[in-house]
Amino acid sequence: EGRMIERRIKAAKFPAKKSLDSFDFKAIPKLNKMQVLELARCEWIERRENVIALGPSGTGKTHVAMGLGLAACQKGMSVSFTTAAALVNELMEARDERRLLRLQKQLASVKLLIIDELGFVPLSKTGAELLFEMISQRYERGATLITSNLPFDEWTETFGTERLTGALLDRLTHHVNILEMNGESYRLAQSRAR
């Protein structure tokens, strides 16, 4: 069992191994700790719901995303962690190499897909469309966790068109748990505490 968990953690490709145990909830008082601990039970993944963590840079969104991903791995679920930019690059490369369908199937089959840093870089028209298509394929089939430094009303800047952004948000927010992570930079507070 332990080996299977390790294998799932490795397959998830987390940038680091951070659990919720090491997250300092006091640093982000706006974040609802009970909600996060409830999400760590992973029932939302079984229900194929989504989680969107919103907040400025450095407020611990990636740490919480990794913690929830780790909890899912420990509960026997397949997880894949990526950034929005890396995912879009991967989708575009796959399309150019005529293996898009295979990649889409692979991404659609993961129990929990974590897309970090949505909104850091505006996407090209093709990139935005490919990402939208992928999220649509996962709609009600798998759980998706997204972290973004942008409030919803600024997502159009990332996706380019209001129509695409509206359709995307419609799918993502149909069954959603939103984590508000505003506050002083978590990283800043951590480095001050040292």
pTM: 0.94
How many Å apart are CA 136 and CA 133, to the nearest integer?
5
At 37 the pLDDT is 98
Tokens encoding 71: 């909890």
Q: What is the DSSP string of 31-50?
A: S-HHHHHHHTT-HHHHTT-E
HSE toward the beta carbon, residue 32, CA cutoff 13 A: 11
SS3 4: helix
At 187 the pLDDT is 56
How many Å apart are CA 43 and CA 176, to the nearest integer?
13
Q: Are 9 and 73 in contact (CB under 8 A)?
A: yes
Q: Please choose, from the candidates 184, 59, 146, the residue with its C-alpha nearest in 3D space to the C-alpha of residue 155.
A: 146
SS3 184: coil
How many Å apart are CA 89 and CA 83, to the nearest integer?
10
pLDDT per residue rounded down to tens, the chain (194 residues): 899 999 999 999 999 999 999 999 998 888 999 999 999 999 999 999 999 999 998 899 999 999 999 999 999 999 999 999 999 999 999 999 999 999 999 999 999 999 999 999 899 999 999 999 999 999 999 999 999 999 999 999 999 999 999 999 999 998 999 999 986 655 555 555 65
How many Å apart are CA 70 and CA 101, to the nearest integer?
28
CATH for 2-193 is: 3.40.50.300
At 1 the pLDDT is 82
pLDDT tens column, 86-114: 999 999 999 999 999 999 999 999 999 99
At 47 the pLDDT is 97
How many Å apart are CA 18 and CA 190, to the nearest integer?
15
Q: Are 50 and 177 in contact (CB under 8 A)?
A: yes
